[in-house]
Chain A
Amino acid sequence: MDQWEYKPAQDLDISGAERLRSVKRESGLLGFLARTTWWFWVHTILRLTERIQVEGRTNLPASAPFLMIANHASHLDVLVLATALPLRLRNCVFPLAAGDTFFETPPVAAFAAGMLNALPMWRKNCGHHAIEALRQRLVSEPCGYILFPEGTRSRTGQMSSFRAGVGMLVAGTAVPVIPCHLRGTFEAMPPQTKWPRSTNITLKIGGGCRFEDISNERNGWRMIAERLEQEVRALGGPA
């Protein structure tokens, strides 16, 4: 018989605002119930207000860990991607959100952490150790990330080049990356607007890519970002 093994919450020694901003944050029953309710309503409202078409659901992974990436043009993107996931995957997914937008003020951080289950990714002054902590979590526990490798929402609706950060998360690991392409979210809710309007949204989910053989260093990260950018552009079809 194996010895008993206790695994305390990784964020046991932190509390309050610091805990909300921590990439070690783990939630329990209350967080699970809050998020289940939140995603139920988001799913219902999106179905009522937008005409969403999802292609390639069979490409979704059967289990965690995984990294889901897409082009980014609207706050709706993360909602459309998360609601496309089956419940068992949605319960363990963390959208990676801009720290300076979603984790600066406590009320917004509470919403991002409590409802979206988001983890912060700091765009400025972000050292390797911050992404390394995210990478470690992705490889050591059954969880998934949603990431927009452009780093910010497109102001024109056109996709820009991917940053190397996505490569830092998965280079040399067996974690599958699921490329996705979103069309219509910019028209539904461009960055300048506060409320979405009803329109057609298409989400195309591509086949998973693995980067086990890519070295975890600058060149490798760049190669991964370029490859994934090509995959997403290919899913989007000719401009």
Chain B
Amino acid sequence: MEASSKARLWGWNTALDSAFVRGFLLSLGIILIAVPLILWLLKLARGSNAERQRELWARYWSWLIFIPLMIGPVLLGAGWTIAAVSVMSILCYREFARAIGLFRHRAISLFVVLGISGITFAIADHWYGFFVALTPLTIACIAAVAILEDQPKGYIQRVALGIFAFLLFGVCFGHLGYFANDGNFRAMLLWLVACVELNDIFAYIVGKTLGRKKLAPNTSPNKTVAGAVGAVILTTAVAAALGKLVFQNTEVDTPVRLILLGLILSVSGQLGDLTLSSIKRDLGIKDWAATFPGHGGLLDRFNSLIFASPAVFHLVGYFQGIGLDQMPRIITHG
């Protein structure tokens, strides 16, 4: 393996080389210090609404746990990032499988997990051909292994759910990991994750402030049309502005392309959220799991990244390619 590939995978000492990463961390630090002060001032100014305060503080503490878990691997290196995305994919699949009952079909679950592991290997190897090939191969394996139960009743359901799960948590989330094969992966991933989270926050704030008409009351009763439109406008603006710093002097660095990127990110983020909400409503559950008391499971947190990751990946890939500056197949040909 070449020294440059090793440095990308494990070189934590280059984490702060990018001006965007330095600025991002500084801004995040300021926000995390400012939030408790703002909460305290709100309490003083408006009097104490104990329940609301408790909810806001619970959210703040959960972010203090989530942020290091999300940012830490990205700063440590591409290897850690790929591993973290892989663990997240498997844990999200676990939540999904337990919610729909697929976990009882262990052979199918095994092949979904093997598919996700294969995707992880393809990403770590920077072997895009294998990354693409794993979709039909895993689908074939899931369909084949489901025959072993010798129970035709429910076969379509089992296989379809297994394939659906693999596509969501293996392939879609895999694109998030594949960003790590680009030399500029830290800035791109921090930008993507931050914008997707901001998208949720904008939708929440605008919806609470201006929201009247429900967006899809049967799917997600708290979402409003104003929230969705507000999030698209604000996220597109923020993503384009920050994207200017991330994609400086690249093929993406034109106003039209940056705005298009922000637009796609916002819309696909919201669609991911709504898709997972639809599945929850179909199942009749409120949260995907009870992993984080008051906040549900990992999928409740990462649902917006599911479609945003491949959408942004392929748009950036279309304009400038991803990982073209790095050696491919660093393990199999290394």
Interfacial residues, chain A to chain B (CB-CB below 8 A): 2, 4-9, 12-15, 26, 28-30, 32
Quick one: which of B209-238 are within 8 Å of A by CB?
Answer: none
Please name the residue on chain A nearest to B101 by beta carbon. Answer: A7
User: Contact: A15 with B291, CB < 8 Å?
Assistant: yes
Contacts of A29 in B (CB 8 A): 103, 106, 109-110, 113
Residues of A close to B97: CB separation below 8 A: 28
Shortest distance from the beta carbon of B283 to any chain A beta carbon, whole Å = 5
Q: Is B157 an interface residue (CB 8 A)?
A: yes
**Alpha-carbon distance between A30 and B98 when the two chains are bound, in angstroms:** 12
Say yes or no for B260: interface residue by CB 8 A criterion. no
Q: What's the Cα separation between A36 and B110 when bound, in Å?
A: 14
- Asked whether A8 lies within 8 Å of B101 as measured between CB atoms, the reply is yes
Instruction: Report if A28-B109 is in contact (Cβ < 8 Å); known contacts: A6-B282, A12-B285, A15-B290.
Output: yes
Which residue of the partner chain, among A4, A12, A14, A30, contacts B99 with CB atoms under 8 Å? A12
- Bound-state Cα–Cα, A28 to B107, Å: 11
Known contacts A4-B157, A14-B290, A15-B291; is-contact A9 B109 (Cβ 8 Å): no
Query: Which residues of A lie under 8 Å from residue B99 when comparing CB positions?
Result: 8-9, 12
Q: How many residues of B contact A (CB 8 A)?
A: 23
Say yes or no: A6-B283 contact (C-beta < 8 A), given A28-B103, A28-B106, A28-B109. yes
| Residues in A whose Cβ lies below 8 Å from that of B113 | 29
Q: Contact partner of A28 among B98, B153, B282, B289, CB < 8 A?
A: B98
Give the chain A neighbours of B291 by CB distance below 8 A: 15
A7 to B103 CA separation, bound complex (whole angstroms): 10
B153 cross-chain contacts in A, Cβ below 8 A: 2
Closest CB-CB distance, A186 to chain B, in whole Å?
A: 37
- Is B290 touching A6 in the complex (CB atoms < 8 A)? no
Distance of B89 from chain A, by nearest CB (Å): 14
Nearest-Cβ distance from residue A179 to partner chain B, whole angstroms: 30
Residues 278-307 of B, flagged 1 when their CB comes within 8 A of A and 0 if not, give 000011010101110100000000000000
Is B100 part of the binding interface, using a Cβ–Cβ cutoff of 8 Å? yes
Given contacts A6-B100, A6-B283, contact A12 B289 (CB under 8 A): yes
The reply to whether B109 and A12 form a contact with Cβ atoms under 8 Å apart is no
User: Could you name 24 residue pairs across A and B whose Cβ atoms are closer than 8 Å?
Assistant: A2-B153, A4-B157, A6-B101, A6-B282, A7-B101, A8-B98, A8-B99, A9-B98, A9-B99, A9-B103, A12-B285, A12-B289, A13-B287, A15-B290, A15-B291, A15-B293, A26-B103, A26-B104, A28-B97, A28-B98, A28-B106, A29-B109, A29-B110, A29-B113
Indicate with 1 or 0, residue by residue over B94-133, a CB within 8 angstroms of chain A CB atoms: 1001111101101001100100000000000000000000
**How far apart are the CA atoms of A14 and B153 in the complex, in Å?**
31
Q: Which residues of A are found within 8 Å of B101, using beta-carbon distances?
A: 6-9
User: Across chains A and B, which 5 residue pairs bring their CB atoms closest together, nearest first?
Assistant: A28-B103, A7-B101, A9-B98, A15-B290, A29-B109
Q: Which residues of A contact B103 (CB under 8 A)?
A: 9, 26, 28-29
Q: How far is the CA of A153 from the CA of B153 in the complex (A)?
A: 45
Which residues from A are CB-within-8-Å of B283?
A: 6, 8
Supplied contacts A2-B153, A12-B289, A29-B113, 8 more A-B pairs, CB within 8 Å: A8-B100, A8-B285, A9-B99, A9-B101, A9-B103, A12-B99, A28-B106, A30-B94
> B285 — which chain A residues lie within 8 A by C-beta?
8, 12
Is there an interface contact between A12 and B110, defined as CB atoms closer than 8 Å?
no
Cα–Cα distance between A182 and B26 once the two chains are bound (Å) = 68
* Among candidates A4, A5, A15, residue contacting B289 with C-beta atoms closer than 8 Å: A15
In the complex, what residues of A have CB within 8 A of residue B287's CB?
13
**CB-nearest residue of chain B to A18:** B290
Identity of the chain B residue whose Cβ is nearest the Cβ of A91 in the assembled complex: B106
Nearest CB on A from B289, distance (A)? 7
| A15 cross-chain contacts in B, Cβ below 8 A | 289-291, 293
Chain A residues, CB < 8 A from B290: 12-15
* A12 in complex: contacting residue of B98, B154, B157, CB < 8 Å: B98
The reply to whether A28 and B94 contact each other, CB–CB distance below 8 Å, is yes
Distance, CA A29 to CA B110, complexed state (A)? 7
Bound: A28/B97 CA distance, A: 9
B311-332 to A contact mask, C-beta < 8 Å, 1/0? 0000000000000000000000
Contacts of B104 in A (CB 8 A): 7, 26, 28
**Which residues of B sit under 8 angstroms from A13, Cβ to Cβ?**
287, 290
Closest Cβ of chain B to A194, distance in Å, is 34
